[in-house]
Homo-oligomer: A and B are copies of this chain.
């Protein structure tokens, strides 16, 4: 079978398509034939550095990408959760089944630095690390769920204490934010979307966004959030943690509101924003950093996606062998929704 692999020196230019022996599942494992994969912003760092930083010392070779959709081609003798022929998504954290995060659960994230990713035709994974997915979704849509959708889901519906009618702010139009918008609207929340592009804002409106703010023309976008909430402030902000956004998020949030720190577009090497203690105190904000979620979270999200027939937005599709080009497009940040690879 063929696999994409990276070795030092890093960089998408060095991404290689290699032939590897077909793997076989152990007694509690399953063998998946991958159909699709999707990209997250982290994949641009991993491609460039082998991990989240230049000194990540990733085990080589790195098989990139965490998110995908595959068909169960074989199961180990003790496996009962899934059967041959089932369509599944591997978990971003295959060891995280339930409950809060813990070190033994967040070890082994797919696609480095935890372990080999989904950019290969066949992969073996623990049966506990896959979930069946809603039948109405295409393979490409399924691939968007494991990291981006689950991050948005957990931020809003597990970590935060939102009630329907609350106001959420979604920064930009990347995968987490657009899936967050779709989930928020199906959950009866009011959604404010920010973007530097009026055209993207219009696309967000078509997905149900209640308020649109162009942060290029309105750098102090917190004023728009205040206006949209009768001065009360937003109950929730999905903070992608790029340079300077946190200050506006703190100005946007209501007293005691929730800011989910998902760090999705922040350069892991940059020093980060300056946190104003005065601002934090004035807002009594809760800032909750998070990374994806558990399989149990994923299954709950899938029940909701199925009920509401939510169709994730696929921005572009590349053949999986052209992952380098896809990762390059991801880095340019012009997408709206998700970039997908097709096997």
Contacts and interface: CB of A to CB of B under 8 A. Distances in A.
A181 to B, nearest CB: 14
A321 interface: no
A28 B79 CA distance: 13
Interface residues of A, number: 67
A304 B272 contact: no
Contacts of A222: none
Interface of A: 26-28, 52-53, 97-103, 105-106, 157-159, 163-166, 183, 186-188, 190, 210, 241, 246, 255-256, 261, 263, 266, 268-281, 283-291, 294, 296, 300-301, 303-308
12 contacts: A98-B100, A101-B255, A106-B255, A163-B300, A164-B188, A164-B308, A263-B281, A272-B274, A272-B275, A272-B276, A273-B275, A280-B287
Given A98-B102, A100-B256, A164-B187, 18 more contacts: A26-B27, A28-B28, A101-B255, A158-B163, A165-B300, A165-B305, A187-B187, A187-B188, A188-B188, A188-B308, A190-B307, A261-B280, A271-B274, A272-B274, A272-B278, A273-B275, A281-B289, A285-B289
Of all A-B residue pairs in the complex, the 9 with the closest CB atoms, nearest first, are A165-B304, A98-B99, A99-B99, A275-B275, A164-B187, A280-B289, A187-B188, A165-B303, A287-B287
